Amino acid sequence: MDIDYMDGFRCFTFDSNRYYSQKSMVDDLHSMGCKAIWMLDPGIKNEEGYFVCESGSEMDVWVQKADGSLFIGKVWPGDCVFPDFTSKRAHAWWASLVRDFISNGVDGIWNGMNEPAVADTTTKTMPESNIHSGDADIGGTQNHPYYHNVYGMLMARSTYEGMVLANASKRPFVLTRAGLIGSQRYAATWTGDNMSTWEHLHMSLSMILQLCEEVCRLALLRRYRLLPHIYTLFYHSHTKGIPVATPVIFAALYLIKELMNVHINYQRAYGCLLILWIHTLICQCCILQGGAILPVGLPIQHVGETSLEDDLSLIIALDENGKAEGVLFEDAGDGYGFTQGDYLLTYYIAELHSSVVTVKVFKSEGSWKRPKRNLKINILLGEGAMEGAELSKIPVDLKSRDWSLKIVPWIGGRIISMTHLPSDSQWLHSRIEINGYEEYSGTEIMSAGCTEEYKVIRRYLEQSGEDESICMEGDIGGGLVLQRQISILKDNPKIVQIDSSIQARSVGVGSGGFSRLVCLRVHPTFTLLHPTEVVVAFMAINGSKEEISPEAGEITFEGDLRPNGEWMLVDKCVRLSLVNRFNRREVSKCFVHWGTGGVNMELWSEERPVSNETPLRICHQYEVRQTS
């Protein structure tokens, strides 16, 4: 529904003459299987008696001019004021309006004109001298150019949060005309009003490519990784007339369910290792026909970066008979030497015998010698679990009916995903190389322990009768290791337990068997799905009840002000709490830091040297609870 449904283009209103019973109309649409998506613009008619304008003025949410007066610009309703979505105050005000608006049978919301568009200026947007009273965590008070590109995304976020407030069990549907990288968390993007002209078609290509820069970048890298396969397809096309019809950029060609190194006994396999392939192969999903072997190269920016000595990977999908085959064509990449035999055509086969997969060259053609390079073998598998061998270079999944965790041993042994399955809630804020759940060995941020490569010492599977768990160890220097065991408890699968310790292994004799000063610092970064509705709450040792909101910024609790063995991250919007329990004898202080989109809830041990007999340890647990 475009703006014509409104009363004089006033947002959050309905034209009573045309839509005297919009709820009945929506019910009719629903009966036909249609959804009702309603337009909302940021331009609010500046009019006395109009409830949206008056409530916004009471809440002081409008963008101002340089002299402190209201900025008034012309849009569809005439003279309009504009919400300053850079402040939490305006965010909450708009979200409350959206929440109430949804009760009219609104299925989704369509945000337009949110560049923001202003009709009576030469730039068709706000003057650069306008003032935004932004929150401190995103830049504070700034002129309009500072926030221009993010204005549309902030409006979409406020709309999204309002829909969540209206019905937390329903997925919000929001469209936005303006956005920025990251806006895909809140809304899909449409490219605005257009016409069937060549000019608009040309413009749409660059617009679509910019909708998500990261997705496009990863897609292009994925295509370059597939160059060995694509080049071989062109060879087949040239020699056999087979069409090259392999849409690999944005198509879901390969669904990687599982993979493992060829040298590993695979009677059972474990977990979904998709994250590894986002990190290396750069493909978002994979479906590879059984019986195929797919050659892939390194991620590159252009073909000029390639060398015949580069690592080559073979992705192998065995068929129902335990066999697979594939082919790779290589030559100079230019010229016609291949017509004289200057090339290498390699036929690979893979076979499964007695739980061991053997990969070999079946035959070769051409005069070229095989390049000296590393050949990496990845085998796609189905359900089960993997045992033994070298596990440190692949992501690890821990799963139960309540939890799904993804761990990357080779970068700090960090947890990058922590999903509570019954509530479908993701609690960690992470990229592979930063944030998520990590640990330090000192009081300073990013001290040893958070980026080192961890070795997998033990991996237990639920099927073995043990807790679903992984135990890792990282060398943090000075004869010390940081050991971490992450478990989903067999007796109570609702609980994730992390048992970490700094241990002395080979401390120098001259130090009397004691190490340098160390502090075990647990540093998780939790996701804030509803930043205005989240608090950290606990009962302190001294009996006081504490509730810390994002406005607190950073705060430390020591002595009797520490939580009494338990604190929780409470999302009031969805009525869920992530409870963190710990042994207070092992924790000397607790630290909270609120950031944009995330919060750190840190546990610190005491700071002291360690010896073989006196390690530092923190064992703690996480559980999700429903709150009233």
Place of tokens 């989240």: 534
Indicate the DSSP class of residue 610: -
In which band, very low, low, confident or very high, does the pLDDT at 25 lie, cut at 50, 70 and 90?
A: confident
Q: For residue range 211-222, list pLDDT tens digits in order.
A: 555 555 666 667
- Predicted confidence at residue 194, as pLDDT, reads 77
pLDDT in tens, 387-445: 223 333 557 888 888 999 999 888 899 999 999 999 999 998 777 677 899 999 999 88
pLDDT of residue 573: 92
Output the six-digit token pair for 433.
Answer: 């190389």
Asked whether residue 266 carries a pLDDT value surpassing 60, the answer given is no
pLDDT at 581: 97
Better pLDDT: 379 or 615: 615
Q: Is the pLDDT of residue 606 over 70?
A: yes
Going by pLDDT thresholds of 50, 70 and 90, the confidence category of residue 615 is: very high
Residue 87 neighbours by CB under 8 Å, 6+ apart: 61, 132, 133, 134, 135
Up-side HSE of residue 406: CA atoms within 13 Å toward CB?
Answer: 19
Q: What is the dihedral of CA 506, 509, 513, 519, to 10 degrees?
A: -60
CB 521 within 8 A of CB 441: yes
Residue 261 confidence (pLDDT): 33
76 or 319: which leads in pLDDT: 76
pLDDT higher than 90, residue 145: yes
- CATH T-level assignment (fold) for domain 3-209: TIM Barrel (3.20.20)
Architecture in CATH of 396-626: Distorted Sandwich (2.70)
Give alpha helix (H) positions in 463-539: none
User: For the domain bounded by 220-380, which CATH number is listed?
Assistant: 2.60.40
Give me the residues paired with residue 547 across strands: 537
Q: Which residue has the higher pLDDT, 49 or 219?
A: 49
Does the predicted TM-score (pTM) go above 0.75? no
Omega prior to 116 cis, within 30 of 0: yes
Take residue 124 and report the two structure tokens written for it: 């068709």
Q: Is the pLDDT of residue 192 over 60?
A: yes
What rounded mean pLDDT belongs to the chain?
83
How many CB atoms lie under 10 A from the CB of residue 252? 12
Over the stretch 489-530, which tens digit does the pLDDT of each residue have? Answer: 888 999 999 999 999 988 765 566 788 899 999 999 998 888
Task: Report the DSSP beta bridge partners of residue 523.
Answer: 438
Which pLDDT value is given to residue 491? 87
Model confidence at 30: pLDDT above 80 = yes
> Bridge-partner residues for 405, per DSSP?
398, 418
pLDDT score, position 356: 62
What residues contact residue 567 under an 8 Å CB cut-off, 6+ apart? 536, 537, 538, 579, 580, 590, 601
CA distance 554 to 278: 33
Q: Per-residue pLDDT averaged across 273-281, rounded?
A: 28
pLDDT of residue 513: 76
Predicted confidence (pLDDT) per residue in 296-346, tens digit: 988 777 667 788 888 888 888 888 888 889 999 999 887 788 889 999 999
Radius of gyration of the chain (CA): 29
- How confident is the model at residue 486, as a pLDDT? 95
pLDDT (mean) for 121-142: 94
Q: State both tokens at 298.
A: 């390194």
Q: What does the pLDDT read at residue 262?
A: 31
Domain with CATH 2.60.40 in the chain: 220-380
Question: Lowest-pLDDT range, 17-31, 332-346, 528-542?
Answer: 17-31
Residue ranges, comma separated, of all CATH 3.20.20.80 domains in the chain are 3-209
For residue 187, pLDDT over 70 is answered with yes
Q: Where exactly does CATH 2.70.98.10 map onto the chain?
A: 396-626
3-state SS string over 85-144?
CCCHHHHHHHHHHHHHHHCCCCCEEEECCCCCCCCCCCCCCCCCCCEEECCHHHCCEEEH
Q: Which range is most confident: 118-122, 462-466, 575-579, 611-615?
A: 575-579
> What's the pLDDT band for 47 if we cut at 50, 70, 90?
very high
